[in-house]
């Protein structure tokens, strides 16, 4: 019986050590987008995600943000919409989740998840890269 406890304790110590030794990196903007946004917006941000057909509104094509803003990429407006600071009345009901709260909670609960602001900025930069040229 004592050998069994020793074996279990050794196995537990090895698992904890292996987990602690693994480097962790905050998710990239592309990873965060794929996890949290692509179901509606599609992997390339064109509004064609698998959940888009079930939406009661047309999911916007995020690759045209600069085009719709007279050639300027509206980074701050996008960040404020993602994090929930900007809830524009012109959009009517807000159907998109407020990701700032989700990312802030994840930051508190998951080691090395990355800061909420950092994750939002990474998504904004990913969207900048997706713009049609």
In a domain, 117, yes or no: yes
* Angle between helices 116-130 and 99-109 in degrees, nearest 10: 130
Q: Convert the pLDDT of each residue in 13-52 to its tens digit.
A: 444 444 444 446 789 999 999 999 999 999 999 999 999 9
Does 53 fall in a domain? yes
pLDDT of residue 65: 97
Q: How far apart are CA 35 and CA 27, in angstroms?
A: 10
Whether residue 78 has pLDDT greater than 90: yes
Q: Are 59 and 49 in contact (CB under 8 A)?
A: yes
Domain for residue 86, yes or no?
yes
Answer yes or no: are the C-beta atoms of 80 and 86 closer than 8 Å.
yes
Query: What percent of the chain lies above the pLDDT cut of 70?
Result: 76
Categorize the per-residue pLDDT at 85 as very low, low, confident or very high, splitting at 50, 70 and 90: confident
- Threshold 0.85, pTM exceeds: no
Residue with tokens 């592309």: 30
Q: Residue 69 is part of a domain; what is its CATH number?
A: 1.10.760.10
Token duo for residue 87: 């809830």
The helix (run of H) or strand (run of E) holding residue 123 is helix 116-130
Kindly tell me if the per-residue pLDDT of 1 is higher than 60. Answer: no
Share of the chain above pLDDT 90, in %: 61
Residue 96's domain spans which residues? 27-130
**Residue 19 located in a structural domain:** no
Q: How sure is the predictor about 94, in pLDDT bands with cuts at 50, 70 and 90?
A: low
Q: How many domains does the chain have?
A: 1
In a domain, 39, yes or no: yes
Q: What are phi and psi of 91, to 5 degrees?
A: -85, -5
- Does 14 map to a domain? no
Q: Is residue 15 part of a domain?
A: no
Residue 9 inside a domain? The answer is no
Confidence (pLDDT) at 112 = 83
Q: How high is the mean pLDDT of the chain?
A: 83
> CA 30, 118, 104 angle in degrees (round to 5)?
105
Phi, psi of 23 (to 5 degrees): -70, 145
User: pLDDT by residue (tens digit) across 98-123?
Assistant: 899 999 999 999 988 889 999 999 99
């Amino acid at each position: 019986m004592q050998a069994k406890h020793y074996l279990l304790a050794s196995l537990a110590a090895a698992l904890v050590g292996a987990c602690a030794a693994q480097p962790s990196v905050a998710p990239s903007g592309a990873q965060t987008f794929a996890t949290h946004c692509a179901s509606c917006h599609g992997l390339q941000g064109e509004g064609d995600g698998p959940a888009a057909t079930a939406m009661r509104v047309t999911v916007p094509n995020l690759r045209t943000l600069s085009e719709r803003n007279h050639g300027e990429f509206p980074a701050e407006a996008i960040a404020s919409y993602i994090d929930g600071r900007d809830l524009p009345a012109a959009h009517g009901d807000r159907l998109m989740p407020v990701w700032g709260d989700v990312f802030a909670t994840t930051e508190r609960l998951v080691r090395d998840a990355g800061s909420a602001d950092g994750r939002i900025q990474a998504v904004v930069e990913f969207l900048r890269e997706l713009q049609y040229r």
